[in-house]
Amino acid sequence: MATNERLYVLFPHQVLPERDLGQLALLIPKTHLLQVLEPLAIPAWGASRFEILPAGLGESEAEQLRQARESFREFAAVHQDHCLAASFTSETFLRQDLESRLDIQSSLKGREAKPPEAGNRQMLEAALFLEVAAEFDRKQADLESDLAEAAHLESEFREILGIGDDDTIEDSLETLSPPLASTRAHLSFMLSKRIVSWLRVFSLAPAASATLALVTVTQEVVDEIIDRVEAFIRRHPSGAEWSQAPPAAAPCIPGLPSGEAAEKLEAVQREDHYLDYRRGLEALLDDPGNDGKQAAFRGAAEHMTKIMEADFGTRAPQCPVKQLVLTSFSNLSLADFKLAVDPGGDPPPPEWADMPAPPLLCLREPPGILLPDED
């Protein structure tokens, strides 16, 4: 990666349903996924749109994580409750594994083994939490993919029967209603801990000194960050502030992901209107507070949306209405950003003091639109 190239990183999640990956593939130049231990699966159609960003863990740390992760899996297999297990992995599985290792070393060597330093242990706890959260997210992503496919089949069946979305279904077909729906509540599960853990692990990544843009798919992440940054500014008065650009249209290609849709995606990204969108996004990230660049980006996104809707159709179960919203920070360093979000963590890397706080690009549902689990 060139030193001046912007690095778009999914934050603070590592695993998303393919529907979300499909829309990110269209809207973000290339999204990087932070990987701790377990290899993250990138769909074949997204090989050129996503890239793995490995955490910079040493072999000894990685081995401790593997042991603690196995302890979690054994617990989860017995109790069948991944949420419960995830809620105390840091306090239980890592501690038990480290204590058992220290006991064994003490017995074999005949002297007391030295426990890991507090900072190193804090990092291991964060890495373990991300591993457990990613495992939980994989199961949710698989479920959402299955439900999205079921919704697609139901939509086709309705079309064959000539039943519109607002039509009443006769008694003989009442089993089709209400439609199957997925829930996205898992994206907000233990969100504060997920954000803190992600930043701690990311600080070790080889690309942690690159120019960053953080990408998220839930508004709750943005709200959490803003709350913490505002609290930090109150504790440390300065000229730091945050701002949010007006939302831009976020088009998608109905049917993503699939082989045919991937070909459509590649075709779209060669068109002039997409290149205008890309240039508008980069220009806005370079100068987020510029009203002219905000308007230019919104115009490019709206133009691209209209062309794509004319070519591929409008909203579908696999292509929900979305917005892309940019939140940016001024007079705030990446080190300050880390301290605001993780005040109890280790000091940030020294080079972060000279780097600006990263902007947040949020792919969200428009306000006032109910999610399936809110109906």
pLDDT at residue 371 in the model? 46
pLDDT at residue 320 in the model? 64
Question: Residue ranges of the chain with pLDDT lower than 70?
Answer: 1-4, 76-119, 145-153, 155-156, 158, 163-184, 208, 254-261, 313-320, 368-375
pLDDT at residue 161 in the model? 75
Whole-angstrom Cα distance, residue 365 to residue 342? 27
* Look-up of token digits 């890991």: 116
Tally of CB atoms within 10 A around 34: 22
Element housing 216 (H / E):
strand 211-216
pTM for the model:
0.81
pLDDT at residue 81 in the model? 54
Burial class (CB in 10 A: 0-12, 13-18, 19+), 340: buried
pLDDT at residue 190 in the model? 87
Whole-angstrom Cα distance, residue 342 to residue 208? 16
pLDDT digits (tens, 9 = 90+) for 275-324: 999 999 999 999 999 999 999 999 999 999 888 888 776 655 556 678 99
Cα Rg, the chain, nearest whole Å: 23
Helix axes 291-312, 272-286, angle to 10 degrees: 150
Count of alpha carbons within 13 angstroms of residue 137, beta-carbon side: 23
